[in-house]
């Protein structure tokens, strides 16, 4: 018999894959972003330098190079992807649905599947945005367009610090996104198989 309070039981996903996804998502991915992400991107703006070593040019070109910092983007991604699950658990708490009952009730099962599908959509959207904002490779040199500053030279060559490390980190974040999408898809199949098991149980 599970002696945990209902509020604590509601915090756990009702599937094995969902619990593994929570561990992977909450621990590995967050640790990777929080610790290694700061080490790779923490001082990027300070070491980003252009041909003309002027603060105005460096700041302008860095803002052009990074419309949004990768740490902020990935933090927003993590928070956003957590929202569907949090809303479902809020719904389950309001309806006083226990963890063991989620997959036994068709309505709660449907809502949970919707929350997983929303996570998939958000992860795919984040993957697409990341590819457009940061690409897949970080070049050692960035050509900055200075035409908006009305400079005589419209192009400035800027050196990107740690470009190889950033390329590796980008690849890792893409991999994490793909893994979480695959886990969400696998969780939906687990839910469907378990629902079939409940439906096929003999009535006593």
Q: Indicate if the pLDDT at residue 147 is higher than 70.
A: yes
- In angstroms, rounded to a whole number, what is the distance separating the alpha carbons of residues 165 and 13? 35
Q: Indicate if the pLDDT at residue 203 is higher than 50.
A: no
pLDDT in tens, 57-116: 888 888 888 888 888 898 898 889 889 988 988 888 888 887 778 888 888 889 999 999
**Residue carrying the six token digits 């226990």:** 98
- pLDDT for 113 equals 92
Average of per-residue pLDDT across 120-130: 95
- pLDDT for 39 equals 80
- pLDDT for 24 equals 76
> pLDDT > 70: what percent of the chain?
87
Q: What share of the chain is helix, strand, coil (3-state, %, to 5)?
A: 70, 5, 25
Average of per-residue pLDDT across 114-129: 95
**Tokens read off for 40:** 């790779």
Q: What is the mean pLDDT of the chain?
A: 82
Q: Indicate if the pLDDT at residue 3 is higher than 50.
A: no
- pLDDT for 128 equals 96
Q: Which residue has the higher pLDDT, 40 or 127?
A: 127
Average of per-residue pLDDT across 157-183: 90
The most confident of 35-44, 149-158, 170-179, by mean pLDDT:
170-179
- pLDDT for 40 equals 82
**Tokens read off for 17:** 């894959």
Q: 3-class SS at 143? A: strand
- In angstroms, rounded to a whole number, what is the distance separating the alpha carbons of residues 10 and 94? 11
Q: 3-class SS at 141? A: strand
Q: Phi then psi for 145, rounded to 5 degrees? A: -90, 115
Instruction: Categorize the per-residue pLDDT at 119 as very low, low, confident or very high, splitting at 50, 70 and 90.
Output: very high
- pLDDT for 178 equals 93
- Cα–Cα separations (whole angstroms), residue 133 to 33, 39, 121, 189: 17, 20, 18, 33
């Amino acid at each position: 018999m599970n002696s945990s309070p209902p509020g604590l039981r509601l915090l756990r996903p009702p599937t094995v894959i969902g619990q593994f996804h929570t561990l992977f998502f909450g621990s590995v991915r967050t640790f990777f972003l929080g610790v290694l992400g700061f080490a790779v991107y923490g001082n990027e703006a300070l070491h980003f330098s252009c041909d003309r070593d002027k603060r105005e040019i460096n700041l302008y070109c860095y803002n052009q190079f990074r419309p949004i910092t990768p740490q902020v983007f990935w933090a927003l991604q993590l928070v956003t992807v957590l929202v569907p699950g949090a809303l479902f658990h809020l719904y389950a708490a309001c309806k006083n649905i226990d963890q063991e009952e989620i997959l036994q009730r068709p309505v709660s099962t449907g809502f949970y599947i919707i929350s997983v599908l929303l996570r998939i959509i958000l992860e795919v959207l984040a993957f697409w945005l990341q590819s457009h904002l940061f690409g897949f490779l970080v070049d050692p040199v960035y050509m900055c367009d200075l035409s908006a500053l009305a400079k005589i030279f419209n192009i400035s060559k800027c050196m990107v610090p740690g470009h190889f490390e950033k390329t590796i980190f980008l690849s890792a974040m893409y991999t994490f996104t793909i893994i979480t999408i695959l886990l969400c898809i696998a969780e939906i199949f687990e839910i469907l198989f378990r629902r079939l098991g409940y439906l096929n149980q003999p009535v006593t």
